[in-house]
Chains A and B, each alone.
Chain A
């Protein structure tokens, strides 16, 4: 199969990929229904998050269990400045970069006190940080109502490019773009951009410094790497992706509340990175898509039982997390380096030179 793909010339492969990506939301709608286009949109947001976390965990080797905090910060930055809550309606092209900046700031805020921590200790502190942010968002409605507490923020402005609101349906030639389609393309552009950024960083002075820190921090320091700055850069860079994803998420959903940003979400994003193949952007993309789609697909277990046995023996909602966990365990057993490991990790696991 891989050989067959490799026989196709490179330009044709890219063309096929592009055509596939363009057709994907329409084909999905035709085959599986609009709900699945929405799932794909969410998957793309998670891809963005996973790419960001991969910089921190995959490249720099800093185990971050509170990553969802940056997603939350980005989402609230957007929501507060583009909703009736404060009566502000700033344009998205200001808010998305702003969300990125605010998240980067929080990334440094988290990074600074944890510079000397590693492994388990770092994981615990970042976990706490994630929870602190969530609890703040939950409680910053008194005495001054900033975040509107657990009720969350509603009626958030959708992305609007000029007069083109992504929330309404548009017809371009034979194609009908509903909100989920429009957002798909926006998210897709963001994801492609992040892949490029991530790959470029990996092959740069700073990317090598991140990986060097992951491999041996003492040696990295002795080789002249300012580990403080380089680690902060990793935290800030990773957080930036999270912030952008958060802003897009707020615009896409139109509603956010602290409940969307729990520890479980952090762990989920981490699973995507580890499962996909830590350190390899493409693996991480694959992991994010699979882990978003898998729970959705497992919903069909109910109807499947109905069709096969005539009644629902086990509720799909009960089964979902069970099967999900089983799938995770199986994947880690069968492919311990992730589904699509980085070139180097693959070699490492094979234990043979080149």
Chain B
């Protein structure tokens, strides 16, 4: 295994009396596709929210690329190289697809208010470069012709792709996807899988929460199973699916389904 990209060290998160995350430790290697699975309410999305800084953990820490990851500061997390999507798509609905992706570039841009007001040379160049780059990202996820459309008017599958393009615009080392295939039909899921593999081939490590068992088994190098906020098992999907604890907790129905 190569040097780890992300390490979670005994991460805890409590909501009142509920242990949403209890001493969750995991390590994601550079370049792998890592799946986070588990029944509803297992703490997967909570893990994402803590990782991306939307929640502050009650204990534990993350390290990315060997350095400490800022806690409770989403913008600093994004700057450190972690981008995410949301389970219930959160696009900027009344902005065009292109503008959505351009917002994703925010953290890699430098222009301030004064530069914008005076339309300084540096600001104009940066805007132009950002526009080109955002358009390229839209092409990358297959949304090139949709650039001018409002995000809220895009079909569901396209909205999911746009969220991925927006996240990629932040130049992440780790792309965290919260149920990217939710609500997609078989053909869309196939396309999504191809896209995710391409993203990995281009050097981005992927962390995904997914319920689509086939997708997880086929795509992920390793998976971690969460149940009631605790790590139940971890390893290659083929191994994990045979783990009796996992079968009991999650794949209660025949795993071949």
Contacts and interface: CB of A to CB of B under 8 A. Distances in A.
Secondary structure of the A contact surface, majority rule: helix
A204 B105 CA distance: 12
Contacts of B166: 223
B150 A347 contact: yes
Contacts of B75: 221, 224-227
A186 interface: no
B116 to A, nearest CB: 3
Contacts of A221: 53-54, 74-75
Contacts of A215: 91-95
Contact of A237 (B103, B113, B115, B167): B113
A208 B95 contact: yes
Interface string B113-151: 101110100010011001000000000000000001110
Given A201-B113, A223-B106, A354-B148, A211 B119 contact: no
A224 B78 contact: yes
Nearest to B151: A215
A282 to B, nearest CB: 18
B117 A201 contact: yes
Nearest to B118: A200
Interface string A218-230: 1111111111000
Q: Which of B54, B92, B93 has the most chain A CB atoms inside 10 A of its CB? A: B92
Contacts of B95: 208, 211-212, 215, 344
Nearest to B172: A224
B113 A233 contact: yes
A315 interface: no
Interface string A167-209: 0000000000000000000000000000001001101111111
Contact of B54 (A207, A222, A225): A222
Contacts of B117: 197, 200-201
Interface string B73-117: 011001100011010001111111001001111110101110111
Interface in B47-80: 52-54, 74-75, 78-79
A6 interface: no
Which range contains the number of A residues in contact with the other chain? 20 to 34
Which range contains the number of B residues in contact with the other chain? 35 or more
B120 to A, nearest CB: 11
B94 A200 contact: no
A348 B94 contact: yes
B49 to A, nearest CB: 9
Contacts of A219: 86, 90-92
Given A208-B103, A208-B106, A222 B94 contact: no
Interface in B203-225: none
A117 to B, nearest CB: 18
Contacts of A211: 92, 94-95, 99
A211 B167 CA distance: 17
11 contacts: A204-B127, A209-B103, A220-B92, A221-B54, A221-B75, A222-B53, A223-B104, A223-B107, A224-B74, A225-B103, A344-B95
Interface of B: 52-54, 74-75, 78-79, 83-84, 86, 90-96, 99, 102-107, 109, 111-113, 115-117, 119, 123, 126-127, 130, 148-150, 152-153, 166-167, 170
Interface of A: 197, 200-201, 203-209, 211-212, 215-216, 218-227, 233, 237, 344-345, 347-348, 352-354
Given A216-B93, A219-B92, A354-B150, 17 more contacts: A200-B116, A204-B115, A205-B105, A206-B111, A206-B112, A206-B116, A208-B102, A211-B94, A215-B92, A216-B91, A219-B86, A219-B91, A220-B92, A223-B104, A223-B107, A223-B170, A224-B75
